[in-house]
Amino acid sequence: MEYVFHIIIMLNIYIMLTLSANLTIGMANLLTMCQAAFYGIGAYIGTFFLMQFNLPFLLVAALVMLFTGAFSFLVSFASVRLKDDYFVIATMGFQLIVYTILYNWTDVTRGPYGIPGIPGIRLFGMFELTGVYAYLVLSLVLMAVVVFLFHHLVESPFGRVLNAIRADEITVKSMGRNIVKFKSLAFFLSAAVAGLAGIIYASYVSYIDPTSFTLDESIFILSALFIGGIGNTKGPVLGAVFVVLLPELLRFVGLPDSVAANLRQIIYGLALILVMYYRPQGLLGKTIMK
C-alpha cells in the first residue's frame, strides 16, 4: 500500500508542477524551459530553512514561495526584451545556470553529493511529519488547494487578461493593460508554486541533489502539460496523471527495468507526437499554444 501512496504523493507534486507551468506557458503564451529550475530553487531554499531553523511549515512554505517567486523576475525580465524562440533559449539558459550553480557551489549545495537527512516538515512548529501517510495527506491537501486556486485564477479576470495576452498582446496593451506586469505576476505565481512542490519533494524524500532539477525535468513537465492540455485546470492535471502513472503501469507488463525505462521514453515521445498531430490543444486543453 505504501507503494501506491508514494505514487499518489509524486502525482500530487507533479500536478502542482504542471499547473504552475500552465500559468505561464498555457495562459500567457510564454514557453518556458526552466520550470525544474524553480522546482529546484524551492527544494534547496526549503531545505535550508528546514535544516537551519525550526520554523513551522506554513512560514517555511511562504518563505520558499516568496524567494522562488523573486527568482522568477530574472526570467520575466527576459520576457520583456526577448520574443518567441529567443525567449525559449533564454529560459533554457536560466535552467542551465541554476543547474550549474546547484552542481558546483559545493560549499552550500554539496554539489553532486546532494544533501541527505532533510528533516520532515513541522506542522505548526510542533508535529514533525514523517512517513508516507503524513505526506500523502499533506500533499493531497496542498494539491487540492493549488488546483482550487488555479481554477479560480483561470476563471477570474486575471485569467482572462492572460488568455488575451496569449491571443493578441498588442491589442491588450492598447486596452490599457500593462503586459510586463501581468507576465511578471504570472511568472511569480508559477515559480512560487513550483517552489512549493520543491519543498514538499525535498522534505518527503529527505535527500536532494541537482540531478532532480535538470533541463530533462523541465522538458518532462512540459510534456505532461502538452499531453494533458493547456489553458484550463483539468488539462494539466490529466497530463500529470499520464506521465506519472505510465511508468508504473509498465512495471506490471513484466519487462526488464532497462527495457521499461527506454520504452517509457518512446511512449512519452509517441504520445506527444500523436497529441500534437491530432489534438494540438492537448487531451483536455482549452487552447492551442501559438
Residues binding other proteins (CB under 8 A): 149, 152-153, 156-158, 160-161, 163-164, 166-168, 170-179, 185, 189, 231, 286-288
- Give the nearer residue to other proteins in terms of CB position, either 168 or 216: 168
The residue whose grid cell reads 486543453 is 285
Smallest distance from other proteins to CB 159, Å: 8
In one-letter notation, the amino acid at residue 78 is A
Smallest distance from other proteins to CB 276, Å: 18
How far is 267 from 252, CA to CA, in rounded Å?
A: 16
Smallest distance from other proteins to CB 55, Å: 23
Q: Quickly list DSSP for 94-123.
A: HHHHHHHHHHH-HHHH-GGG-EE-PPPPEE
- Give the nearer residue to other proteins in terms of CB position, either 10 or 147: 147
SS3 content of the chain, % helix, strand, coil (to 5): 75, 5, 20
Task: Outline where DSSP puts E strands in 170-226.
Answer: 207-208
The residue whose grid cell reads 530553512 is 49
The residue whose grid cell reads 493578441 is 168
Nearest to 276 by CA among 232, 229, 243: 229
Number of Cβ within a 10 Å radius of residue 28: 26
- Give the nearer residue to other proteins in terms of CB position, either 159 or 239: 159
Smallest distance from other proteins to CB 168, Å: 5
Smallest distance from other proteins to CB 85, Å: 21
- Give the nearer residue to other proteins in terms of CB position, either 179 or 241: 179
- Give the nearer residue to other proteins in terms of CB position, either 26 or 228: 26
**C-alpha grid cell for residue 204?**
518527503
Smallest distance from other proteins to CB 98, Å: 24
Taking the CA atoms of 160, 163, 167 and 170 in sequence, report the sign of the dihedral they define: positive
- Give the nearer residue to other proteins in terms of CB position, either 23 or 243: 23
Smallest distance from other proteins to CB 193, Å: 12
The phi, psi pair for 115, rounded to 5°, reads -115, 110
- Give the nearer residue to other proteins in terms of CB position, either 160 or 251: 160
Chain centre distance of CA 199: 12
**C-alpha grid cell for residue 42?**
524551492
